[in-house]
Amino acid sequence: VVPVYIHLIHGRRHGEHRIGRRAARQMFWTLNGGYAGTQDLGMAPTGVSFRLKKITVSRNERWFHARPYSAADKQMKRRLHRGKPRVLNIYVNRTAVPGQVLLGFSTFPWQRAWRRGLDGVTVSDASLPGGRAVGYNHGDTVIHETGHWLGLLHTFEGGCVGGTGGDGVADTPAEAAPSFRCDDRNTCTIPEYQNPADPTGPLID
């Protein structure tokens, strides 16, 4: 059971303070449902569940538009982070990188030692239900990024390595490169082993 703090960041311009506590709770329910296996009848529970401890709201223009690992991002997390490494802190703002919308990003468990107080998951408000990231605005980004926070890699992380791929998980097919569409393909046709088709589904970060 993972305790969770959700930190909502509001900007100062029109439309930059629409993220409310209700949306935060919906995002939390989506997170719990994803790991409980309730989104699809074919899914099994992971054994990981989440307990919401608190929702905080801050108004700060620099934090709202903070780029990943920038000075503003670090300041935000140092001020707002709560709990020890086993506590998940989720930050909701409108983070971006030049030329694109960034749906979210996360630290990995092995980064916590040298990013003390800076670990957690950051989710763009564009990915929340009704957000402006069309096709990616169903709220599932928080599930994906929390997987990274728990230590999961992308299925394409190590390419076609040893039949299991660089994610180190034997029951996920290897994949040579990320997919941006829900297409049927097999990018790891290596003679040494019979590789099933690539995992179906688009990349979200």
Catalytic residues: 145
Check: CB of residue 104 under 8 Å from CB of residue 75. no
First to last CA, the chain: 25
Structural Rg of the chain based on CA atoms: 18
Instruction: Quote the tokens at residue 84.
Output: 């020890």
Secondary structure E strands in 25-168: 50-59, 88-93, 96-97, 100-101, 104-106, 121-124
**E-assigned strands of 87-157?**
88-93, 96-97, 100-101, 104-106, 121-124
Separation CA 120–CA 88 (nearest Å): 6
Instruction: Choose among 158, 192, 163: nearest CA to 176.
Output: 158
